[in-house]
Amino acid sequence: MYFERFDPLQGQCLQILDPMGKVQEDLRPDLPDSRVKQLYERMSVMRLADQMAMSLQREGGMGTYAPFYGQEAAQASAAFLQPADWMVPSYRETGALFLRGVPLANLYRYWMGDERGMLMPEGLRILPIAIVVGSQPLHAVGLSWAMKLKGEKAAAVAYFGDGASSQGDVHEAMNFAGVFQTPTVFLCQNNQFAISLPRKQQTAAATIAQRASSYGFPGLLIDGNDIFAVAAAMTEALADVRAGKGPRLIEMLTYRLGPHTTADDPTKYRASGEIEKYKPFDPLLRLRRYLESRKLWDETAEKDLVQRGQAEVEDAAKKAKAIAPAVPDDIFAYTYRTLPPYLKRQQEDLRAFLKEQAAVEAHHG
Amino acid sequence: MAKLNLVSALNMALDQEMARNDRMLILGEDVGREGGVFRVTDGLQKKYGAARVVDTPLAESAILGAALGLAAGGMLPVAEIQFEGFIHVAMDQLCNQIGRYRNRSRGRYGLSLVIRVPWGGGIHAPEHHSDSPEALLAHTPGLTVVQPSNPADAKGLLLAALRLGEPVVFCEPKRIYRAIKAEVPEGDYTVPIGKAAVARQGKDLTIVAWGAMMREALEAAEELQAQGASAEVIDLRTLSPMDSETVVESVRKTGRLVIAHEAPRTLGLGAEIAARVGEEALTSLLAPIERVTGFDTVMPLSQLEDYYLPDHRRVLAGARKVLAA
Ligand SMILES: Cc1ncc(C[n+]2csc(CCOP(=O)(O)OP(=O)(O)O)c2C)c(N)n1
């Protein structure tokens, strides 16, 4: 019903929870209070996890990290996937991956420059994160096509940003999905920036959601800082695609409160007052207002949550730091199923070189 | 003369040519307000306006395809691809279109355009931000591929590239963007494209390198000197069309050759250099040619990156091997 009622071409945007924490009852998706509370808790821990990553980076233990500060509700979209669904993430999906069950320590480990962090736990249907912007929606199309061919009632969800929507690959992915009616959900997290470029300079179209119509399937623009809208859109889109009704596009309008990555300085391109304007729309703040107004949450619960959450992320950071560093042999282990002889020789050469160096250094040291 | 790093030297070249040639425009992701993620285009949008320093949508194929059209239309586009790993997204435009345009148009459209690309590893960046796909480009007929190794060359080569009348891929070794400071002439000058430089004279062996590997090669040569061996170090500077004559000439003198590059070994530029030396100076060789290179694997993330990238110690080991033979 959401996709039918809200037409992005008419400038409509689905919002259920307003910034003051009031819910529009006739649009409310079927979410019991306990579930809403749980979502709030996981989103809060997500934010703590994000902050922990930022401080790990500042300590020097991490290379580059892409924070999702301000995008917690959109990241919580992952909570609505079923185990049989595939998640096809970009580099900004740390929160979503965490929610889907990837251990936080693994995610930290990856950003610490250790590829082993990208080994997904057995049984979790998640592709490795995509760094090449816009490459992964095509993979989601193929994956969901495979589900369809095998008769599985499952979807693949492609996560990408507003910047990515300018890539040819993303257009091609949507076109394929439309033509082959694949069970794909295109999930655009529009955080209004691609590094320094504001969304308005990314496309002259009013919305990204409206593109769906030109590929022959429905699109929906939602307030991506509103967990109720996220829940409503995800639930409906996933049910529709699993039922064989073809692909769906959801544009989640949010705002990147932090830098693009830890290597980026947003003061170069963003007016200082701009962030303040968006702070009242903070997805956590809104949800907390709602919970408090329903007497489901209070100061004590919040304190307790922060304490537990902090312990959880500190534990993950400790675990990540404690993992023994990857060894050079790891470089050679996965390029091919079996090492060709010349590559084996390269590996042996490196081993010999390192042994020799160690001997030289021991001699001098 | 001021002491500048590579970033400032490149910025100076762009600035000077923008002022000289009003047909020049810069386009790419984050090149305007942000000044590029490495700040190479810093301040240029303020100075020349948003119509000449253009922040484009995130689409490499569009950036290069449009650059082709702009060049055919009489402009001088300078496109930035943010990191070398993303040039693949535009490979059709680059290899199938830009590289072949002079030939396809029977010489009518010799495209004047420069594609600047931060290049290579060593800065502990995420996946796809540390590769050296130079061989892919050098293997493409019609593309000129340049890689400077120091600030003064960077400025002179970029000015030469902007005036060449050919599509040039200008690879900027990001590892030394800020690691080297050197005297850079303030005035207008060019460093010839297609000419290698003898960066250091020597008689016992030849070391060929380019880009960031030049630092490692020169450091290895320093150490060799202390050990009584004199290495001639050649900076290839233009990777394609390649000046192998300078290398061959040097090998005729020294009889020994080490080629150092950070790209994977198989079918890397080292293979081509070795083949040319084999063809033209085989009888001068006193030892088998040694290649010191990256591995034929995916470039690892930061934890293992230093094992992948050949450093001066590995160049030194290669040199010892050819000297011992
Ligand atoms: C093909 C490609 N080009 C350039 C980059 C460099 N880059 C990384 S993230 C980014 C901006 C992406 O913006 P958007 O798609 O809106 O996603 P966001 O980062 O805001 O989540 C750019 C240009 C890249 N990773 N891949």
**pLDDT band of B317, cuts 50, 70, 90:** very high
Q: Which sequence positions of A are flagged as catalytic?
A: 256, 260, 269
User: What average pLDDT does the segment B271-286 reach?
Assistant: 98
* Closest by CA position to A316, among listed A37, A61, A36, A40: A61
Contact across the interface for A331 and B314, Cβ inside 8 Å: no
Q: Which residue stretches of chain A have pLDDT < 50?
A: none
Question: CA-CA-CA-CA torsion for B167, B154, B89, A66, nearest 10 degrees?
Answer: -160
CA B292 to ligand 1 center in whole angstroms:
33
**Count of CB pairs separated by less than 8 Å, A with B:** 121
In this prediction, residue A136 carries a pLDDT of 98
Query: Helix A33-59 and helix A227-242: axis angle, to 10°?
Result: 100
Q: How far is B78 from chain A (nearest CA, A)?
A: 19
In this prediction, residue A32 carries a pLDDT of 96
Largest alpha-carbon pair distance within chain B? 60
Q: Is A16 left (phi over 0), alpha (psi -120 to 50) or beta?
A: alpha
The atom of ligand 1 lying closest to the CA of A92 is 21
Whether the per-residue pLDDT at B37 is higher than 70: the answer is yes
In this prediction, residue A365 carries a pLDDT of 65
Closest CB to A113: pick one of B30, B295, B302: B302
This complex has an ipTM of 0.96
Using an 8 Å CB-CB cutoff, list chain B residues near A63: 124-126, 301-302
- Could you give the C-alpha distances from B133 to A20, A351, B140, B244, in angstroms and in order? 52, 25, 12, 20
The atom of ligand 1 lying closest to the CA of B30 is 23
State pLDDT tens for residues B83-92: 999 999 999 9
State pLDDT tens for residues A203-249: 999 999 999 999 999 999 999 999 999 999 999 999 999 999 999 99
Say how far residue B2 (Cα) sits from the centre of its chain. Answer: 23
Closest CB to A166: pick one of B30, B59, B298: B59
State pLDDT tens for residues B226-248: 999 999 999 999 999 999 999 99
Using an 8 Å CB-CB cutoff, list chain A residues near B294: none
In this prediction, residue A272 carries a pLDDT of 83
Average pLDDT over all residues of chain B = 98
- Determine the Cα–Cα distance for residues A71 and A98; give it in Å rounded to an integer: 14
- Could you give the C-alpha distances from B53 to B18, B42, B111, B188, in angstroms and in order? 10, 10, 20, 21
State pLDDT tens for residues B127-183: 999 999 999 999 999 999 999 999 999 999 999 999 999 999 999 999 999 999 999
In this prediction, residue B230 carries a pLDDT of 98
Q: Give ligand 1 pocket residues (Cβ under 6 A).
A: A 92, 131-133, 161-164, 191, 193-195, 260; B 29, 58, 60, 82, 86, 89
**Torsion over CA: A44, A120, A325, A113 (sign):** negative
What's B187's DSSP letter?
A: S
- Could you give the C-alpha distances from B40 to A139, B45, B51, in angstroms and in order? 34, 12, 18
In this prediction, residue B1 carries a pLDDT of 82
Whether the per-residue pLDDT at B35 is higher than 70: the answer is yes
State pLDDT tens for residues B292-308: 999 999 999 999 999 99
Q: By CB neighbour count within 10 A (0-12 exposed, 13-18 middle, 19+ buried), where does A187 fall?
A: buried
Residue nearest to atom 7 of ligand 1 (CA): A133
Using an 8 Å CB-CB cutoff, list chain A residues near B300: 115, 326, 330-331
Residue nearest to atom 5 of ligand 1 (CA): A133
- Determine the Cα–Cα distance for residues A13 and A6; give it in Å rounded to an integer: 6
How is residue B153 written in tokens?
A: 């060359």
In this prediction, residue A131 carries a pLDDT of 98
- Determine the Cα–Cα distance for residues B212 and B305; give it in Å rounded to an integer: 15
Residue nearest to atom 20 of ligand 1 (CA): A194
Closest CB to B89: pick one of A132, A330, A353: A132
Query: What single letter denotes the amino acid at residue B51?
Result: A
- Determine the Cα–Cα distance for residues A67 and A93; give it in Å rounded to an integer: 9
In this prediction, residue A86 carries a pLDDT of 98
Q: How far is B325 from chain A (nearest CA, A)?
A: 18
Whether the per-residue pLDDT at B106 is higher than 80: the answer is yes
Whether the per-residue pLDDT at B202 is higher than 70: the answer is yes
Q: Which sequence positions of B are flagged as catalytic?
A: 129
* Entry pTM: 0.97
**pLDDT band of B272, cuts 50, 70, 90:** very high
Structural contact between residues A222 and A13, judged by C-beta atoms closer than 8 angstroms: yes
